[in-house]
Amino acid sequence: MNTGFKGFLAIIFVLTMSISVFAADTIKLGVAGAHSGDLASYGIPTVRAAQFVVDEYNKNGGIDGKKIELLVEDDECKPEKAVNAATKLMSQGVDAVVGHICSGATKAALSIYLSQMIPVISPSATNPALTQSGNYPNFFRTIAPDDAQARLEVDFAVDELGLKNIAVIHDKGDYGKGLAQFAKKFIEETEGVNVALFEGVTPGALDYSAIVQKIKNSNADGVIFGGYHPEASKIVTQMRKKEMDIPFISDDGVKDETFIKVAGKYAEGVYATGPKDVSSNPLAKEAEKKHMEKYGEHSGAFYLNGYAAAQAILNAIDNADSTDPQKVMQAMRTNYVETPLGKIKFDENGDAIGVGFSVYQVQDGEYVELNY
Amino acid sequence: MEYFLQLFFAGLTKGSIYALIALGYTMVYGIIQLINFAHGEIYMIGAFTALIAAGVLSVFNLPVVAIFIIVTLVAILYSSAYGYTIEKIAYKPLRNAPRLSALISAIGMSIFLQNYVLLAQTSDFLPFPSLIGQFKFMEPYNHILSSSGLVIIISTFIAMLLLSLYIKFTRMGKAMRATAQDKKMALLLGINVDRVISTTFVVGSALAALGGVLIANHIGQINFYIGFIAGIKAFTAAVLGGIGSVPGAVLGALILGWTESFSTGYISSDYQDVFAFILLVVILIFKPSGILGKKTDQKV
């Protein structure tokens, strides 16, 4: 192959690239997240969900006569790869992005999208600061942030159960302690309610009698626990054995069948927050059915959140009649959209209104969703 | 005052369990200068044996107290057999090897047993049935101590009493003391040192298994990993009290239990382990052999 021919190829190559950019008769939807590596199981369901939604739109003639093109980029949940993926999607002229999957990677990628205000909607990044810091006006998500659970726990404890003096206990882990710190903050912000105790226990310790006594001595009228079920079941068991019948409220690390199995009769009456049960939503059923038909298996993590994210962003583009970022973002905030997670729109920060957690209570050996 | 008593008994309960396990460490160390790191796993196996035995027994219509006693005996027998076998497989062939080899063998044994139980059972926490009914104490003592806590304290006390009588008055006890003092001399005097060592492992394992059953009943759940943390704590207690000394192990265990309980109660549970280990370091600085440990000249 001589140099001239190579040069010719290069020119052809560049021309083809530029043609596909300039002839923008499609709407380009990026999907970024972990599609390989050990966290791939978190990212792949979103790609599948986005594909279903895009196929559905294209079958009906696209948006305003334009077909939708899906651009998939892998970031392995690594911040540095997420930056590359974001850069690549931008250079391909992407109009909106569904992703990224992990909070750290999402944060890194957002700094790239921000330069052109590309709307980004994540199905799974729960870090509260992503929306609440106000640094990323182009960011939305279809999953409730970590602090939403703590908010719900505190509201439930104060408004529904009428607690005044709450002990906040955690397992010192990132998840449990994070939730407990939010719970503490929300309790302190509430008039007339006190944090009776704020302490971490050592996971796996032999016995929690001393901390249970301390809760009792603090005259707490309820306990909020941040952490997972092994510690929760030990603490509840020891509390109940000492005839402390004050409410015990925990999180989705405890809303687990194993908790009831292990704590047995002592689990009765325990409250735990967990994602809203959407299994009766017809759209969720339909999305699940599609997945089952195409892939022959149940969908994985964040599949429905990814589905809702793709629907929300395409619906906004449709309503805005434009891919202009400002108009799309405005549409995200003003128009409700029917999704498998329910009817949602987005608040000023970018968090979905209508998506979130419910309070469950153990009744007769199973978790029952409460109407709160 | 009530709060103090509650914490005192919480510490005593925890300390009793540490003591039951620590005795195995200290006795084995006293006789063959080996830190038996697989000892925590014996405690865990004791709890699992009890769970399985309780499951089998639940078929028959026995009173709960009878189930508790049978289950405890089964766990003690089974775990003792484990202790005996571990010594034969992992330590006896290495008796004349450098001490480090036996230590590595012990760590290997510990990991092996953990994984064995993990594969044979599950990694999940399993519920352990409450075998001791919830009896009520007189007011105002009702909330100071739970019934399963009381059973732990009493059982430990009886076990300690029997152990000290055994060491003091039986022929085997005498042989143990002689072997601990000077293995070579004991051998020359016609003591069957192999049998003494085996017996030490069996007795230590029986105590650890008792601890396992009691704690499983107290907190109501077990998994394959419980032996590791309990073992580390009990080992700390043995060192604190002076490793090789039987009363030292008990004292060290109780001090450790109370330190954890009172530091949780009066300061913060965030730093419970920190206080426990600060105490250990402070004691070892002023008395390197432990509280009741004898100062011996070590050949290096």
Choose among A257, A361, A269, A351: nearest CA to A312: A351
Q: Which residue of B has its CA nearest to A236?
A: B219
Q: Between residues A1 and B125, which one has the greater pLDDT?
A: B125
Do residue B270 and residue A200 have CB atoms under 8 angstroms apart?
A: yes
Residue B114: the pLDDT is: 94
Whether A113 shows a pLDDT value over 90: the answer reads: yes
Q: How far apart are CA B79 and CA B100, in angstroms?
A: 25
Asked whether B146 and A238 are in contact (CB, 8 A), the reply is yes
Q: B166 and chain A: CB distance < 8 Å anywhere?
A: no
Whether A147 shows a pLDDT value over 60: the answer reads: yes
Residue A14: the pLDDT is: 56
Which residues neighbour A17 within 8 Å (Cβ) at sequence distance 6 or greater? none
Question: How distant is the Cα of A239 from the closest Cα of chain B, in angstroms?
Answer: 10
Which candidate from A209, A229, A261 shows the least CB-CB separation from B13?
A209
Contacts of residue A202 in chain B, CB cutoff 8 Å? 269, 272-273
Structure pTM? 0.81
**pLDDT tens digit sequence for A68-86:** 999 999 999 999 999 999 9
Residue A23: the pLDDT is: 46
Residue B2: the pLDDT is: 83
Tokens 């007339």 locate to: A192
**pLDDT tens digit sequence for B216-236:** 999 889 999 999 999 999 999
Residue A275: the pLDDT is: 86
| Complex-level ipTM | 0.86
Which residues neighbour B147 within 8 Å (Cβ) at sequence distance 6 or greater? A241, B132, B133, B134, B135
Residue A258: the pLDDT is: 87
Residue A174: the pLDDT is: 82
Q: B222 and chain A: CB distance < 8 Å anywhere?
A: no
**pLDDT tens digit sequence for A210-268:** 999 999 999 999 999 999 888 999 999 999 988 899 999 999 889 888 899 999 899 99
Phi, psi (5° rounding) for residue B245? Answer: -105, 125
Residue A97: the pLDDT is: 96
Whether A21 shows a pLDDT value over 80: the answer reads: no
Mean pLDDT of chain B: 91
Question: Which of residues 125 through 154 in chain B touch A, CB cutoff 8 A?
Answer: 125-127, 134, 142-143, 146-149
Q: In which band, very low, low, confident or very high, does the pLDDT at A9 lie, cut at 50, 70 and 90? A: low
* Structure tokens that stand for B185 in this block: 């001399």
Do residue B268 and residue A242 have CB atoms under 8 angstroms apart?
A: no
Q: In which band, very low, low, confident or very high, does the pLDDT at A22 lie, cut at 50, 70 and 90? A: very low
Pairing of strands A357-363, A352-353: unpaired
**pLDDT tens digit sequence for B69-101:** 999 999 999 999 999 999 999 999 998 899 899
Mean pLDDT of chain A: 89
Do residue A207 and residue B229 have CB atoms under 8 angstroms apart?
A: no
Q: How far apart are CA B278 and CA B291, in angstroms?
A: 15
Do residue A242 and residue B11 have CB atoms under 8 angstroms apart?
A: no
Average pLDDT of span A183-196: 94
Q: How far apart are CA B205 and CA A190, in angstroms?
A: 54
Choose among B39, B57, B84, B88: nearest CA to B208: B39
Contacts of residue B6 in chain A, CB cutoff 8 Å? 209, 213, 216-217
Whether A332 shows a pLDDT value over 60: the answer reads: yes
Q: Which residue of A has its CA nearest to B274?
A: A202
Average pLDDT of span B22-41: 93
Q: B121 and chain A: CB distance < 8 Å anywhere?
A: no
Q: Which of A306-315, B98-107, B144-153 has the lowest mean pLDDT?
A: B144-153
